[in-house]
Amino acid sequence: MSLFADVVLPVTAIPPGDRVSVGTDAELEFERVVPSESSTHYLWVVGEDYARVLDDLRGDAAVESVATLDEYDDRALVRVRWTALEAPFLDLLDETDGVLSDAKFTGGKWRTTLRFPDESAFSDFYAASEQRGLGLELRAVSGARFAEHGDALSAVQRKALEAAFAAGYFEVPRRTTLAGLAQQLDRSEQAVSEALRRATANYLRATLASEEPDGTVADDPPTDDSERGT
């Protein structure tokens, strides 16, 4: 069963993000999914500075051609053909059978959705990305087995985890603090901290640790019903 991962990447991860001039407010969006090993990319270049981005690409030695396929007031759909494409992230995606199903460059970072055939392929991808220092930030993972285990959390734990995620508590750097979450949820900092720790442990136990190395499903660990309310 396919697994989807929402990942934030540095500017250099996917060309032509690193070709965007410093100071421009342009955004890039992949128009459609193409094999990541392909030398041709279809992109929307969005923003008042989009013409400047196109000029930068046309002057890049690694770019064979840039063709404008469609154009509106503040955006253009372009086809970029590369003569030489160096992108370790895309190379790793190919190695692990991953697919770049969505990618948007904004605020100096790539925000992407990646699809993998199964959890094993994603695990290989993530481990290799750490080893190679690609600097990715995992924001969310979804898939059949991940969705199955939502009941591993109590209502309080789920609420705390969802609030923390929505408020940017897990981002780097964080957009909110434990004190801010406590105020939002009208609970003490200690209570919120404990709920987050238990929610994270329960969720990971139910998803990542539910299979033994030999492929069998691990027995559910004993639970203390007295703690299900936290």
What integer pLDDT is reported at residue 222 of this predicted model? 39
**Based on the domain organization, do 91 and 7 belong to the same domain?**
yes
For 82, the token pair is 């590369």
Evaluated on CA atoms 150, 155, 158, 163, the torsion sign reads positive
Which residue among 104, 124, 143 closes a domain?
Answer: 143
**Based on the domain organization, do 200 and 92 belong to the same domain?**
no
What integer pLDDT is reported at residue 114 of this predicted model? 87
What integer pLDDT is reported at residue 213 of this predicted model? 46
Residue 206 has a CB neighbour count (10 Å cut-off) of: 19
**Based on the domain organization, do 123 and 186 belong to the same domain?**
no
Is the separation of the CB atoms in 75 and 87 below 8 Å? no
**Based on the domain organization, do 113 and 35 belong to the same domain?**
yes
The DSSP bridge pattern shows strands 40-46 and 27-30 to be antiparallel
Is the separation of the CB atoms in 104 and 28 below 8 Å? yes
With b meaning 16 or more CB within 10 Å and e meaning fewer, what string describes 72-88? Answer: eeebbbbebebeebebe
Which residue among 112, 143, 174 closes a domain?
Answer: 143
Is the separation of the CB atoms in 149 and 158 below 8 Å? no
**Based on the domain organization, do 104 and 199 belong to the same domain?**
no
**Based on the domain organization, do 63 and 123 belong to the same domain?**
yes
Whole-model pTM above 0.85?
Answer: no
**Based on the domain organization, do 122 and 180 belong to the same domain?**
no
Residue 198 has a CB neighbour count (10 Å cut-off) of: 19
**Of 2-6, 33-37, 137-141, 167-171, where does mean pLDDT reach its minimum?**
33-37
What integer pLDDT is reported at residue 134 of this predicted model? 86
**Of 93-107, 168-182, 206-220, where does mean pLDDT reach its minimum?**
206-220
**Based on the domain organization, do 91 and 179 belong to the same domain?**
no
Banded model confidence at residue 214, pLDDT cuts 50, 70, 90: very low
For 111, the token pair is 């925000």
Banded model confidence at residue 212, pLDDT cuts 50, 70, 90: very low
CA–CA dist 190, 63 (Å, integer): 54
What integer pLDDT is reported at residue 126 of this predicted model? 87
Q: Would you say residue 184 has pLDDT above 80?
A: yes
For 170, the token pair is 């897990």
Q: Is the model more confident about 91 or about 215? A: 91
Banded model confidence at residue 224, pLDDT cuts 50, 70, 90: very low
**Based on the domain organization, do 182 and 108 belong to the same domain?**
no
Banded model confidence at residue 1, pLDDT cuts 50, 70, 90: low
CA–CA dist 184, 190 (Å, integer): 14
**Based on the domain organization, do 124 and 163 belong to the same domain?**
no
**Based on the domain organization, do 74 and 188 belong to the same domain?**
no
Does residue 41 sit in helix, strand or coil?
strand
CA–CA dist 223, 230 (Å, integer): 13
The model's pLDDT over 128-137, given as tens digits with 9 standing for 90+, comes to: 988 888 888 8
Number of domains comprising the chain: 2
Which residue among 114, 143, 172 closes a domain?
Answer: 143
Domain housing 218: 149-227
**Based on the domain organization, do 137 and 158 belong to the same domain?**
no
What integer pLDDT is reported at residue 18 of this predicted model? 65
